[in-house]
């Protein structure tokens, strides 16, 4: 018996040693080498991931709405903690604009954005300001805020079927929403607006579809949008500010207090807001101003009414309303449709006048 004890002890020792060796071996196999770790971290780029915006055809004023040109976040591009940063992001306070040459350009951009008529009139062909569609100086969520659009460009746009940088996106706003002439590249107006958007996006994650970007995308209403119901919604909730004729209202000094929603001084037939679904999303989230209380159905109905009114011609007009409608206008556009016996677009005022119309 005494001779077996050492043999048993040796056997147990060998078994324990084998277990340790096996554990170390499996641990080494599971831990990646530095080269493997580097390859794994680079995997998203190797897969050729792209944003969904490359397939989107929507377009609105800068947000991206398209309109609002919404796109999914770039897979693999977000850094650790980016989701939290996106959820919690807010643009810097107005008081934080730096007191230097860059800050001076940011302030100029803000001035152009809030009073486009005064500071960029040479490029504007109607009575609108940038801030009419991008509320609170381009800061308000669900109102196509600039801070949510900046980091999503360059991006493909179905509207012109190529990749646009942010400068070209702004140029499109002048051409369509402002019914004017796009500022050329390098012009101080364009640089100032880019600088303002860039500053508002300070600290925002890149290629991340931030909450509040563009305008809300409403579900299809229970009933098809109605011109007749929309006319009543407009009379009850919109006419007080925008006038019973939809031509806006001016302050005592002659400046426009509330913008025109149709007619020769409003956005043209190429603007994103002319689409009923885009207008409905904006209206639902933001109108009446300061008390957004309309139901989804009311928003759809009044958008249908507003976008069934004549406005300046689409700058892409081919000479034929039907051909232009077929080439550039989808299911949510009233362009080329017959309303109350009138083909919309047939009697549209010229686009791109870059001059004030019917100013008092």
**What does the alpha-carbon distance between residue 190 and residue 171 come to, in Å, rounded to a whole number?**
8
Q: What is the pLDDT of residue 61?
A: 46
Name beta bridge partners: 338.
Answer: 343
The pLDDT-based confidence of 24 (bands split at 50, 70, 90) is very low
The fold of the 227-343 domain, in CATH, is: Cytochrome Bc1 Complex; Chain D, domain 2 (1.10.760)
pLDDT surpasses 90 at 78: no
- Determine the 3-state secondary structure of 342 from DSSP: strand
Q: What is the mean pLDDT of residues 69-87?
A: 41
CB 179 within 8 A of CB 125: yes
Query: CB–CB of 310/262 below 8 Å?
Result: yes
Domain 52-200 CATH (choose: 1.10.3810.10, 3.40.470.10, 1.10.10.60, 1.10.760.10): 1.10.760.10
pLDDT bracket for residue 352 (50, 70, 90): confident
- Say if residue 1's pLDDT is above 80: no
Mean pLDDT calculated for residue range 168-188:
98
Confidence of residue 336 (pLDDT cuts 50, 70, 90): very high
**Would you place residue 44 in the very low, low, confident or very high pLDDT band (cuts 50, 70, 90)?**
very low
Domain ranges across the chain: 52-200, 227-343
CA distances from 325 to 43, 176, 321, 335 (A): 44, 16, 6, 6
Count of positions (residues) in the chain: 360
Which pLDDT value is given to residue 357? 46
**Structure confidence by residue, pLDDT tens digits, 266-286:** 999 999 999 999 999 999 999
Model pLDDT, residue 255: 87
- Locate tokens 């083909």: which residue? 343
pLDDT-derived band at 86, boundaries 50, 70, 90 = low
CA nearest 157: which of 67, 63, 53?
53
52-200 with 227-343: one CATH topology? yes
Q: How many C-beta atoms surround the C-beta of residue 207 within 10 A?
A: 20
Read off the pLDDT of each residue in 281-298 and give the average, rounded to a whole number: 97
Asked whether residue 99 carries a pLDDT value surpassing 70, the answer given is yes
Summary mean pLDDT of the chain? 82
Report the C-alpha gap between 174 and 177 in whole angstroms.
6
DSSP 220-283: PPSS---HHHHHHHHHHHTHHHH-TTSS-EE-TTS-EEE--SSSTTS--TTSGGGSHHHHHHHH
Report the alpha-carbon distance of residue 79 to residue 84 in Å, rounded.
10
- For the stretch 189-223, pLDDT in tens is 999 999 999 999 999 999 999 999 999 999 999 99
Q: Taking the model in full, what pTM does it have?
A: 0.77
For residue 242, how many C-alpha atoms fall within 13 Å in the half-sphere facing its CB?
25
Cβ(93)–Cβ(209) below 8 Å? no
With a cut of 50, say whether residue 227 has pLDDT above it: yes
Work out the end-to-end distance of the chain between its first and last CA atoms, rounded to an integer number of angstroms.
Answer: 119
The answer to whether residues 264 and 246 touch, using CB atoms and an 8 Å cutoff, is: no
């Amino acid at each position: 018996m005494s001779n077996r004890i050492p043999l048993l002890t040796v056997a147990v020792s060998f078994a324990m040693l084998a277990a340790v060796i096996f554990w170390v071996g499996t641990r080494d196999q599971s831990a990646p080498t530095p080269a493997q770790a580097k390859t794994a971290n680079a995997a998203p780029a190797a897969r050729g991931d792209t944003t969904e915006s490359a397939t989107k055809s929507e377009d609105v004023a800068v947000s991206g709405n398209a309109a609002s040109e919404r796109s999914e976040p770039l897979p693999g591009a977000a850094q650790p903690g980016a989701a939290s940063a996106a959820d919690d992001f807010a643009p810097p306070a107005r008081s934080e604009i730096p007191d230097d040459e860059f800050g001076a350009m940011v302030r100029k951009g803000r001035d152009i954005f809030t009073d486009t008529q005064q500071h960029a009139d040479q490029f504007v062909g109607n009575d609108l300001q940038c801030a009419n569609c991008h509320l609170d100086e381009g800061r308000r969520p669900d109102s196509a805020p600039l801070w949510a659009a900046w980091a999503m460009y360059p991006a493909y746009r179905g509207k012109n079927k190529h990749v646009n940088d942010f400068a070209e996106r702004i140029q499109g706003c002048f051409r369509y929403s402002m019914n004017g002439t796009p500022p050329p590249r390098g012009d101080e107006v364009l640089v100032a607006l880019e600088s303002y958007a860039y500053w508002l996006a300070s600290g925002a994650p890149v290629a991340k579809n931030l909450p509040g970007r563009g305008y809300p995308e409403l579900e299809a209403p229970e009933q098809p949008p109605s011109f007749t119901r929309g006319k009543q919604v407009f009379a009850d909730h919109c006419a007080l500010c925008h006038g019973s004729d939809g031509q806006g209202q001016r302050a005592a000094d002659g400046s426009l207090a509330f913008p025109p929603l149709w007619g020769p001084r409003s956005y043209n037939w190429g603007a994103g807001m002319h689409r009923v679904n885009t207008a409905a999303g904006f209206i639902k989230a933001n109108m009446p101003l300061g008390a957004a209380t309309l139901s989804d159905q009311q928003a759809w109905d009044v958008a249908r009414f507003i976008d069934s009114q004549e406005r300046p011609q689409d700058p892409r007009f081919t000479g034929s309303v039907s051909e232009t409608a077929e080439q550039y206008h989808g299911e949510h556009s009233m362009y080329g449709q017959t309303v109350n016996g009138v083909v919309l677009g047939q009697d549209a005022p010229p686009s791109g006048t870059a001059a004030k119309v019917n100013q008092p």
